[in-house]
Structure 1
Amino acid sequence: MINLRRFRSLRVHQNASQMLEAGRLQEEPAWYRIVGSIPPTTSLVRIIPPQLKERKKPWTKNHRPSRMYMPQKIEYPEDKLRTQFYRDHPWELARPRVLVENDGKDYLKYDWSKMPQKGKPLDGESVVQRQLWLRGKYPEMSAEKAYDMARKEFYDLRLQEDIERRIAVEEARACGATFGKTYLELGIEMEEKYLEQWRKDTIAFILRRRQRQSTFKVIEFTSASTEEGFIPAIEAEEGEGGETIEPEKAAVAIP
């Protein structure tokens, strides 16, 4: 007889339904409807990955794959291209991007025979998809050449956007529009503010240190040719208010 405890993970959705009916759960978990529509598999047979099936020599008893049933790493050709592009252009990651898709098939609506796309802003993904299209259209083309061609088109479009932006600003100002400070100007002001505060704190620290050093005098030890040996010669010190401090009352401090 099959022990049902081994299949307890398959009863998670059923147990959650019972707890909802009994009132032990106040609301449905985030995974509740998904697990109900797509339940986990009940097959206990492990399938050997295809890359291990293609082995020409059969596995021996002393030599078997240690990671045969481990999840295989999923890799896409776009991943390497994205890594290369954003390593060369790290500031592109600072640009805002829209990650919302209507049906998850937006990539089918674009024609990557050209770089600019209607309804899609220019970004690093445009370079990646354009490079893939060039490699598919011209199989003899190397990856470096396709990357250079896509990158050149990307630079030209970025320059065109910058020129259009400047012309729009000039036209708006000609019509009487006023603009606030740019992010660069705001950043420079904040930097100057912190530098000025650092300068004031440094000056105050130096003044306090000099005042502390001028308050106490260094004790000068002089050797005396007496049987007592070395006798410290303590002079009268001047306090902060200008009053004279007696030698026996003076605080001794050696920096």
Structure 2
Amino acid sequence: MPRRVAPQVADSVSRLIAGGFIKAEPAWYAAALQHPTAPLPARFPRPGKSQNAFIQKIERGRKPTKTDRRSAIPNLNPRPITYLEDKVRAQFYRDHPWEAKTPRTLVEPGESISAAESSRMGKAKELRHWGRNPGPEDVVTATLELHQAHELSLSAAYHTTLASYYALRAEHENASRYAVVEAIASGARFGRTQTQRSFEKEGSVLQRNREERMQQQQLQRSVESATAQQNAHSADGLGFSGGLNYLQAARRTR
């Protein structure tokens, strides 16, 4: 059964019952016939400039053109659904494209100050309330909180949240560095990082290429020296011998 609006459901079921497609009446069928739904109101969009011009031409007795008729038809397409979250998120990733590569943690966040408590304290809600290592989604949530609960413009809320985000990321980076230094000072030994492994692989490939190039150069030098010696022997055998070659050939023929 295709989709129907509310006033058409009872009529469609009546036709199906009359045709024998439905054997028993549904439980709601009698109530729907006794209390039919109200018809849908007609859509009356607000007339625009083109519609007013079309009506004025008709009132003046002028014949409207096809372009006037086409422009007088109201636009009944649904408007696009937009959310502030998507706008803030798109702007954040446009400003920070590499944040999409940042690893995420699956641990649930701890307790944070609620919006009601923040409003009662009378100060703007900071990004620190979402944690000491916030992510992009925390930036979006904090920006909307500042915009909606604290009556800041979306641009001002976004830049305020970004300032807190940069400060928290700097604190987290410094804390991570000092944690590594303290661990090494306490005797911890860390394995090679991915960057070090990449440099080692690159060095091994360069060393192998260097050895292959040296072998090719040595082989080329040996070939050149052998060719030079062969040319020298050939020149000694075919050069002027003062008649010795002629005498030796004559003795062989006797």
Q: TM-score, normalised by structure 1?
A: 0.47
Bigger Rg, structure 1 or 2: 2
* Larger relative strand fraction: 1
* Larger relative helix fraction: 2
Q: TM-score, normalised by structure 2?
A: 0.47
